[in-house]
Amino acid sequence: MSTIKTKEVTAADHRYEIRRMTPVTGGYIWQRLMAACFKAQQQSAASGVAQAEETEEAKAEAAKVSAEDKLRSLCGVAFMQLSLEDFSYVQAACMKAISRFETKDGKDGAIAIGFIPIMQDNGVWTSPDVADSPFLITKLMVEAVVFNLASFLSESSATPTA
């Protein structure tokens, strides 16, 4: 597992810091995402959608894709398959692992306050503008999942497919 504890990302003109989730939370989210991808595969097979045979060239190209980008793609499929309860859990866990860099207006310009969590541990939003932006929430969710779970793909020989 990675020893890096935080990662900064920029979204909607703000700096965000993503922290590591607990192993229990990360493991549970990983299990939910894998179950959702399996469900998507089952639905695809049941609907008669033909699965294309992967050529050696396609396999070689897929091997060049980073674990992070594979996980970003997986999130797109998995999030659509999660139950509302599981989606809410994943969203809350991700938002609780994210802080936004805040400033306040001062006499001589902006004064740095530092990174402030965007959601409290009790689930209350501290950044209403984030809470009101489903696209920003989804982007931040994906980045939190990628930061916390990409090592599952890079440390494993099995790569999930959707």
Closest CA relative to residue 33, chosen from 152, 156, 154: 152
56 occurs within a structural domain: no
Q: How many domains does the chain have?
A: 1
140 occurs within a structural domain: yes
- pLDDT of 159 reads 45
Question: Poorest-confidence range of 16-30, 44-58, 102-116, 130-144?
Answer: 44-58
The DSSP secondary-structure symbol of 126 reads: S
52 occurs within a structural domain: no
Q: Which domain holds residue 18?
A: 6-45+64-154
59 occurs within a structural domain: no
Tens digits of residue pLDDT in 6-15: 999 999 999 9
Contact of 98 with 118, CB cutoff 8 Å: yes
pTM over 0.85: no
State the average pLDDT for the chain: 86
Rounded to whole angstroms, how far apart are CA atoms 61 and 80? Answer: 26
144 occurs within a structural domain: yes
In percent, the amount of the chain with pLDDT more than 90 equals: 58
Burial 38-74 (b: 16+ CB within 10 A, else e): ebbbeeeeeeeeeeeeeeeeeeeeeeeeebbebbbeb
161 occurs within a structural domain: no
Rounded to whole angstroms, how far apart are CA atoms 58 and 56? Answer: 5
Highest mean pLDDT among 1-10, 122-131, 153-162: 122-131
57 occurs within a structural domain: no
Q: What are the Cα distances from residue 88, in Å, to 59, 80, 83, 85, 155?
A: 34, 12, 8, 5, 28
119 occurs within a structural domain: yes
- pLDDT of 8 reads 96
- pLDDT of 50 reads 58
Is the pLDDT reported for residue 144 higher than 90?
yes
